[in-house]
Structure 1
Amino acid sequence: MEKRVLGRTGMEISVLGFGGAEIGFEQASIDQTARLLGSALDAGLNVIDTAECYGSGETASEHLIGQAVSHRRSEFFLFTKGGHRAGLEHEDWTPELLTAGIERSLKRLKTDYLDLVQLHSCSLSVLQQGEVIAALQAAKAAGKTRFIGYSGENEAAEYAVSCGVFDTLQTSINLADQRGISCWVKSAAEAGMGIIAKRPIANACWTWPTEDECPAYPRPYWQRLQSLAYPGLSIERALRFTLTVPGVTTAIVGTKNPERWAQNAALLASGPLPAEEFEAIRARWQQIAPDDWLGQV
């Protein structure tokens, strides 16, 4: 699988990364997770991205990942996110919560260090207060994490890029979510930050025949794609579009299907989209998208 360097972090990571939300929220078993992640690592994937709030207890994503593949820790880069309460006593977005969450993440993931800890979609006002940023910097200084990042969209993402303290930005980039491409994504790339694309296939929302059948979370994307009317929607085209966006290093994809990783890797064998196809997709967005089509968390 193709590898790219994640901005100034210098980490050479696979263009596909494993997203840990699905296994946590859908309460996968440890055996299922072991098969899933084993197949991903065997297919050449070397990025696992999760969060402390993806599930709880014995089926929390971090716990499942730690139990399933901690013995292969040297084979992958381990990213997580923090800031939500998720069973801890402190309020959201406090230094105490973030610090306690990082310690719990290390224990659940069965590792001595994390490669990247990201603030998980907190607001602009929280970022501007600076306290949680300072807590994240302290964790980096203490060797709990090698790098720090921000995960989010819109004005908060713009501030996270401009403040100059984060190594990476994780943000939604896909056929139905292009607002950031010419804004905070472009600025992050110019600043040398690593860029991680979440929701890179727009949750494959076009596979639901009607709006009523589409789940609530990807429904805004379903609605947008009706207006955009892109021809030939497919997982391959969606992934290749996202990975053609300048500055994007990796696309985080979640699944519970162990066979999916080799299939997705094969879809990327043709490389980036041709320039004329990529520009046609961007031009359609710029023609159709209204100002209220903001980045989706």
Structure 2
Amino acid sequence: MEFRRLGRSGLNVSEISYGNWLTHGSQVEEDQAQACIKAALDAGITTFDTADIYANTLAESVLGRGLAGLRRESLEIFTKVYWPTGPGGPNDKGLGRKHIMESANASLKRLGTDYLDLYQAHRFDRTVPLEETFLAFADLVRQGKVLYVGVSEWTAEQITQGAALAREFKVPFVSNQPQYNALWRVIEPQVVPASEREGISQIVWSPIAQGVLTGKYKPGQPFPEGSRATDEKGGANMVKRFLNDDVLTRVQKLEPLAAEAGLSLAQLAIAWVLQNQNVASAIIGASRPEQVHENVKAAGVKLEPELMEAIDTALEGVVESDPTLTRSP
């Protein structure tokens, strides 16, 4: 496993991190989830990402049990706050002080830890003054419950505004967590340059485009049984934007490029996002341990410029780069 610094900070994270969105506490049974966590640890992954909204808090509990008894100092545990949790009361969502403070304490209990390495605003909240949000983050940092602060799916303007307040309140704001892959590059025109100016890294989710970049979806053929595209409760709505024959035909053109590089399509996709120096870590998920063992082989892989150009050529016409698609609700 290779490691990178998170933003302009002293925190090292594994190039490939393990996330449990859509799996733990919902799609995958407990024993299988624990097997995947163990596989991640065995592969050298030290960075684990979750959120209180995943399976309505159950995913945090599953991860907490999977990491119990390990040396806490050898792990980086990330979670998030914003989306509704609990019974859905008026303060059970958003980035107001009450929800942030209560959510942080609840996440700590579920994860079985005294502190979070990174606490992330899962989306931008236009209904709450940004000063209130960053003051709450600052207090959590002062209390020792949070070491670093990050955000997820914030625009360049929002990141810049947040960074200014972070400096004012002395908050170590170090990361953004966006969707990013060879098909979805909307962070490149604005978010990445703004993040580089502010000393912020990307921790990217969906590096394989919810499975599309593995090549398992074939143009003109039914979706594989049990895949995300067939599971209405497991992200079918998220993946459908890529499931047209034009995209799938282009993805098939990546297969000989991956083979020539000695990589699977999934490994090629993960290695591709890691070529961006503003990316500190790529989050992988898994429903089976063998998926973890396969995908971690992308760590440390360097893709030659000619291969990067060939990937661009293969995907020409189906890549989304519109920065206005980086937005919160």
TM-score, scaled relative to structure 2? 0.79
Once the two structures are aligned, what percentage of the paired residues are identical?
A: 25
Deviation of residue 27 (structure 1)? Answer: 4.8
Deviation at 1:263, TM superposition (A): 1.6
CA separation of 1:183 and 1:222: change in aligned 2, threshold 3 A: farther
1:207 positional shift: 2.2
State yes or no: 1:217 paired with 2:238.
Answer: yes
2:217 partner amino acid: W
Match of 2:142 in 1: 141
Aligned length: 291
| 1:220 counterpart letter in structure 2 | R
- Unmatched 5+ residue regions in structure 2? 167-172, 224-228, 230-235, 256-264
After the TM superposition, list the runs of 4 or more consecutive aligned residues in structure 1 that deviate by more than 6 angstroms. Answer: none
Distance apart, 1:198 and its partner CA: 1.1
The amino acid that maps onto 1:139 is: L
| Pairing of 1:286-297 with structure 2 (within 5 A) | 289=320, 291=322, 294-295=325-326
CA change 1:27–1:232 in 2 (3 A) is: closer
Mapped to 2, the partners of 1:292 and 1:42 lie a distance apart of 37
1:24 Cα deviation after fit: 3.2
Q: How far has the Cα of 1:279 moved from its partner? A: 4.1
Q: Distance in 1 between matches of 2:274 and 2:115?
A: 28
In 1: Cα distance, 2:246 partner to 2:182 partner? 8
Is 1:30–1:64's contact at 8 Å kept on the other side of the alignment? yes
Structure 1 position 100 matched with structure 2 position 122 = no
Q: Which residue of 2 aligns with 1:226?
A: 247
Query: Aligned partners of 2:162, 2:249: CA distance in 1, in Å?
Result: 34
Residue in 1 that maps onto 2:267 = 236
Give CA-to-partner distance per residue, 1:250-293, whole Å, 9 cap, x none. 00011121122222122445x12212332454576689647488
Does the aligned pair in 2 maintain the 1:117–1:149 contact within 8 Å? yes
Q: Distance in 2 between matches of 1:105 and 1:138?
A: 16
Amino acid at match of 1:261: V
- Residue of structure 2 aligned with 1:189, choices 196, 203, 210: 196
Corresponding residue SS for 1:33: helix
Give the deviation of 1:40 after TM superposition: 0.7
Cα distance between partner residues in 2 of 1:174 and 1:111: 32
1:225 to 1:95, Cα distance in 2 relative to 1, 3 A: farther
Aligned-residue CA RMSD (Å): 2.8
The CA distance in 2 between the partners of 1:288 and 1:173, in whole Å, is 11
- For the residue of structure 2 that corresponds to 1:237, the secondary structure is helix
**What is residue 293 of structure 2 aligned with on the other side?**
262
- Which letter does structure 2 place at the counterpart of 1:3? F
- Rounded Cα–Cα distance in structure 1 between residues aligned with 2:73 and 2:187: 33
Amino acid at match of 2:81: G
Matched, 1:158 2:157: yes
Paired residue type of 2:307: E
Distance 2:321 2:5 in 1: 34
Name the amino acid aligned to 1:70. Answer: A
Tell me how far apart the structure 1 counterparts of residues 25 and 14 of structure 2 sit (CA, whole Å): 25
Report the Cα offset of residue 224 of structure 1. Answer: 9.3
Larger Cα Rg: Structure 1 or Structure 2? 2
Q: CA contact under 8 A between 1:24 and 1:56: conserved in structure 2?
A: no
Quote the residue 1:44 is aligned against: 44
* Alignment CA distance shift 1:246-1:170 (3 Å): same
Check 1:222–1:246 CA distance in 2 against 1; reply closer, same or farther (3 A cut). farther
Q: Is the counterpart of residue 33 in structure 1 residue 40 in structure 2?
A: no
Q: Distance in 2 between matches of 1:228 and 1:178?
A: 19
Q: CA deviation at 1:194?
A: 2.5
| Change in 2 beyond 3 A, CA 1:199/1:23 | same
Cα gap change, 1:293 to 1:31, in 2 (>3 Å): same
For 1:12 and 1:163, locate their aligned partners in 2 and report how far apart those are by CA, in whole Å: 22
Gaps of at least 5 residues in structure 1 are none
Q: Describe the SS at the equivalent of 1:71.
A: coil
Q: Does the CA-based 8 Å contact 1:173-1:181 persist in structure 2?
A: no
Q: TM-score w.r.t. structure 1 length?
A: 0.86
